Structure 1
Amino acid sequence: MEHVLVTGGAGFIGSHFVKRLLHAPDVATVTVLDALTYAGHIENLGTAFLSEKLSFVQGNILDTGLVDDLVREATAVVHFAAESHVDRSFFEAGAFIATNVHGTQTLLDAALRHGVERFVHVSTDEVYGPMPEGCATEESPLRPSVPYAASKAASDLVALSYHQTFGVPVCVTRSSNNYGPYQHPEKIIPLFITRLLKGEQATLHGRGEHVRNWLHVEDNCAGIEAVLREGTPGEVYNLGGGTDLTSRDLTGHLLNVCGADWDSVTYIPDRQANDIRYSMDWSKAAAQLGYRPERNFEEGLAETADWYRRNADRWAPMMRNPNAARPARPLPTSPAGR
């Protein structure tokens, strides 16, 4: 695993993974390809640039020539680059399909041409759709509810098909909700933290009953590295095992770490197609790869809040950037009222 290409390596999860990989003695070079859209920031890599192993290329995974040049030099590819925010996908579905599906295909075509030894495609538990009860295994059907999740499910299937048809050594990881430093403040944990730190209201959808599994970004990156090193080509690995919380319970934790109370919370109508619960069985990754989440949620959340408290210069400009959030507007509905 000498030369690793990491797409989306200036994003939230990708930048944490790059820093982890740079410490690996058997990794000679790490090349980051990132378009530096609103969610990717060169500053996320920070001290990683002190390493002579790191190279950075600004570019798009839809650029066939650029991708081909970079994959030609890679031993392995770890593919994070994606449009990822659910709300944005309601209004920009075409961009999600282009980046997440066609971009993935562009990388896979290059991996096939140049015979990469490992290809890890990073995905999400949202591809399984709502799980009112029970847990999704890697064999569960994919039932995405929103354009973002559908684009990721499609990219998963394309990636796996390249293994089945052409023998590209693809593994897919599907993680639960990540949290930690450097995350864009459109996501719920940094959104609530930054609003509370500014003395503004946090807005809770519906009655706050939606259940998500919260996994520290470092635990997810440890799982992805395990898949990169030991995963069986053609296999999917669920990476969960953090902390299951309703959105109301999560809000309570956030109020606590920010020193605020429930007067700082406003309930708003639920978002359309807001799945009530996600849940995954991650026993396969545990049994086959020794994957074990280690970060305590309360400690990790406190550290995360402290990072945002100490780094307002990083997130405050994003809050004013017109590309940082979509203005609220009614969603299109089907004749059935969906």
Structure 2
Amino acid sequence: MKNILVTGADGFIGSHLTEELIRQGYNVKPFVYYNSFNSWGWLDHAPNEIKQNLDVFTGDIRDPYGVKTAMKGCDTVLHLAALIAIPYSYHSPDTYVDTNIKGTLNILQAARELGIEKLVHTSTSEVYGTAQFVPITEQHPLQGQSPYSASKIGADQMAISFYNSFDLPVSIIRPFNTYGPRQSARAVIPTIISQIAAGKRRIKLGAIHPTRDFNYIKDTVTGFISIAESPKSIGEVINVGSNFEVSIGETVQIIAEAMGVEVEIETDDIRIRPEKSEVERLWADNSKAKKLLNWETSYSGRDGFKRGLKETAEWFTNPENLKGYKADVYNI
């Protein structure tokens, strides 16, 4: 019965991870972003049997005192809290430095001072930039092609430095493009599905030629838990991806087929990234996770991708879920 703190527990991945940890019998303290509405984000929608087992801490990852207070009494910290929207990082890069780099530093400092047994820091495949070789291994060069990716590179390196300098038991999980129920519509798959679910047949998108390695939320969650539980992961950077590459354009067609509709794609200039900032190709080599952790994807290949998209579409087409999304409004 480990005591686990999950930062960013109110978000897409964090809420799914929190719920699964509780189902597996862990004592979980979700760290959620303080707000005057007393909202726990997606955890507000958790089943009652999950909610009654939550010891929620509201705070701000940028506040070192609050971070240390939240971490007291915990054995393990899964650090997911971050600003992740790439277009917004063009608008407000300073906020990304404060949240992603300095927020991570607050976690690392507190973990060192409190003697935390295990810290899992969340990276992103965006740190690789456009693939120089595929599939992308953990040895691939890092490229800051957006302020967001640059801030995550900085956070990753800070985490690695604490492992090297202070022997802090840090592991770095590097998820590729996670998708599934609850994801923000600023991400491409919910953008497509929510527009179709709202009755639209001309789908507004940015570039459709780039490729991505989409990983279903359930597989990302098992990746987090495998890394948290494995002593072999300490000091390691580990890709968590599906090892399946697909273009955005092809993804639209697979979603349309799964939802039984025909659609056209309309290019929306506001959604286009600056040319040198666009990540053209992502494709994960997940062999290290398989070898080190015995982690396997359950939604692998084209068939697994279709199955994950079908489950995602079923969630979004539920009117109770869809009403929380603004299909007519582009959110940077």
Cα distance in 2 for residues equivalent to 1:145 and 1:203: 24
Cα distance in 2 for residues equivalent to 1:286 and 1:135: 15
The residue type equivalent to 1:325 in the other structure is N
% identical aligned pairs:
28
2:326 aligns with one of 319, 323, 329: 319
Equivalences for 1:6-155 in 2 at 5 Å? Answer: 6-25=6-25, 27=26, 29-35=27-33, 41-43=41-43, 46-47=46-47, 50=50, 52-131=52-131, 133-155=133-155
Equivalences for 1:125-274 in 2 at 5 Å? Answer: 125-131=125-131, 133-200=133-200, 201-206=202-207, 208-230=208-230, 231-241=232-242, 243-263=244-264, 265-269=265-269, 270-272=272-274, 273-274=277-278
TM-score of the superposition, structure 1-length normalised? 0.88
Mapped pair 1:282 → 2:286: yes
The residue type equivalent to 2:315 in the other structure is W
How far has the Cα of 1:67 moved from its partner? 1.1
- The root-mean-square deviation of aligned C-alpha atoms, in Å, is 2.3
Gaps in structure 1 of 5+ consecutive residues: 327-338
When residues 218 and 250 of structure 1 are mapped into structure 2, their CA distance, relative to the original with a 3 A threshold, is same
Cα distance in 2 for residues equivalent to 1:300 and 1:179: 8
CA contact (8 A) 2:62 2:102 kept: yes
Q: How many residues align?
A: 320
CA contact (8 A) 1:12 1:40 kept: no
**Cα deviation code 1:264-320 (max 9, x no counterpart):** x2134542121110122111110010010002211111111010111x334434428
Cα distance in 2 for residues equivalent to 1:283 and 1:68: 35
The residue type equivalent to 2:33 in the other structure is A
Cα distance in 1 for residues equivalent to 2:129 and 2:41: 30
When residues 109 and 60 of structure 1 are mapped into structure 2, their CA distance, relative to the original with a 3 A threshold, is same
Cα distance in 1 for residues equivalent to 2:328 and 2:66: 29
How far has the Cα of 1:49 moved from its partner? 5.4
When residues 257 and 320 of structure 1 are mapped into structure 2, their CA distance, relative to the original with a 3 A threshold, is closer
CA contact (8 A) 1:239 1:285 kept: yes
CA contact (8 A) 1:181 1:304 kept: yes
Please identify, of 220-229 and 35-44, the stretch whose mean Cα deviation from structure 2 is larger: 35-44
Cα distance in 1 for residues equivalent to 2:135 and 2:213: 11
Please identify, of 151-160 and 136-145, the stretch whose mean Cα deviation from structure 2 is larger: 136-145
SS in 2 for 1:54: coil
Cα distance in 1 for residues equivalent to 2:49 and 2:110: 27
CA contact (8 A) 2:243 2:286 kept: no
When residues 262 and 36 of structure 1 are mapped into structure 2, their CA distance, relative to the original with a 3 A threshold, is farther
Mapped pair 1:291 → 2:308: no
Cα distance in 2 for residues equivalent to 1:293 and 1:48: 29
SS in 2 for 1:284: helix
**Cα deviation code 1:160-186 (max 9, x no counterpart):** 111111111000010110111011112
When residues 258 and 169 of structure 1 are mapped into structure 2, their CA distance, relative to the original with a 3 A threshold, is same
Cα distance in 2 for residues equivalent to 1:212 and 1:36: 33
How far has the Cα of 1:138 moved from its partner? 1.5
Cα distance in 2 for residues equivalent to 1:285 and 1:44: 32
CA contact (8 A) 1:205 1:267 kept: yes
Cα distance in 2 for residues equivalent to 1:41 and 1:130: 32
